[in-house]
Amino acid sequence: MEESQKVQGDLQYVREVLERSKGHRVPVGIYYLWAAICLIGFPLNDFASGHVVGIFWTIAAPVGFVLSGLIGWWFSRTIGQVDFQRTWAVVLHWLGTLVAIGLVSILVINGALEVWAMGQAILLILALSYFTAGLYQDRPLLWVGLVLGLSYILAAFVQGYIWTILGIVVAGSLVASALIGVRRAGD
Amino acid sequence: MQEIDGPEKGKAFKSSLGNLDKLLEHRVRLAVSILLSRYNRLSFSRIKELTGETDGNLGANLRRLEDAGYISARKEFLDRIPITWYALTDDGRKALRTHLNALDGLLQEPHPTP
């Protein structure tokens, strides 16, 4: 009986160590990066032609994706914890999101979707993607997903500078999520 | 714990005890091995932060795992600061699996009456 009690005590210690390893630290640089991209990219819909918007996102999305990977890699080295399985899951999640956004253009090309509605479709994909990322990656992203979902509804009914408002709201929610992550890490 | 009678009592329990790995019976070494089975690589400072052990105690335990061939160590520099990264070897993974199976048996199997 003493042996099994010792084993149970040791397993409790191991469980606590494992729980600590799942800590709240998040690579906040990625949040700030996408806040900046959204703050520039979303308002472009209100102030620039569709051609300019297309060029911006064609460049910003993959560049942001690569920079996010580099920030994540640097972050894992800084905290001293490398998890290839998690990294791979995160990369696939966001790569899938990028591909889905790219595929929306097919609906526009074959006439199933009006150009003006493309932005809203992308917003909906982003909302779902951030929400699911919040469920199994970094919890603060859940709130970004909810804000994007609400923005999608808002975009359907509000006219005038809606993309500028959305850009500010999305960037703000990303910065707020980053600050929440920093505060949790300090607990 | 459920108690059993008869000549077979305690047989499975003793078998589980026999399969325990002496090196992994120490809780710090067990925790480090499980951490390294969960993550690909961990630095010395990260393991220290997670286990809450002192440099000396942790270093000694890591050395024992390294000497047994259960973990591998690699030194690197990040911003001129030396970092030692640890990873679980194939032998370590195998030993950990055997040890955890034995632990599972110890906790699951009926406990023998004295």
| Structural domain includes residue A20 | no
Q: How far away is chain B from the Cα of A178, in angstroms, using its nearest Cα?
A: 22
Q: B112 or A42: which carries more pLDDT confidence?
A: A42
Domains identified in chain A, total number: 1
* CATH dotted code for B3-112: 1.10.10.10
What are the pLDDT tens digits along chain A (187 aa)? 576 677 788 889 999 999 888 876 778 899 999 999 999 998 998 898 888 988 998 899 989 999 998 999 899 988 999 988 888 998 899 899 989 988 988 898 898 888 778 878 888 998 999 999 999 888 888 988 998 899 888 888 877 787 888 889 889 988 988 888 777 766 5
| Structural domain includes residue A107 | yes
Q: Any bridge partners for residue A108, and if so which?
A: none
Give the pLDDT score at B1: 45
Look up the domain containing A78 and give its range.
25-186
ipTM above 0.95, yes or no: no
* B70 part of contact set with chain A, CB < 8 Å: no
Between CA A168 and CA A149 the distance in angstroms is 15
Residue A130's identity, in one-letter code, is Y
Give the pLDDT score at A162: 79
* CA A77 to each of CA A168, B44, B84: distance values in angstroms, whole numbers, following the listed order: 32, 12, 11
Q: Which residue of B has its CA nearest to A10?
A: B27
B1 with A4: Cβ contact below 8 A: yes
Helix spans in chain A (H): 2-21, 28-47, 50-79, 84-109, 115-136, 141-157, 162-186
| Structural domain includes residue A11 | no
Q: For testing the chain B interface, which of A82, A84, A86, A88 should be mutated: the one with the most B CBs within 10 Å?
A: A82
- Kindly report the number of other CB atoms within 10 A of residue A108's CB atom: 15
Cβ-in-10-Å burial (0-12, 13-18, 19+) of A128 comes to middle
| Structural domain includes residue A46 | yes
Between CA B47 and CA A129 the distance in angstroms is 32
* Span A70-104, pLDDT tens digits: 999 899 988 999 988 888 998 899 899 989 988 98
| Structural domain includes residue A4 | no
Helix spans in B19-89 (H): 27-38, 44-51, 55-67
| Structural domain includes residue A3 | no
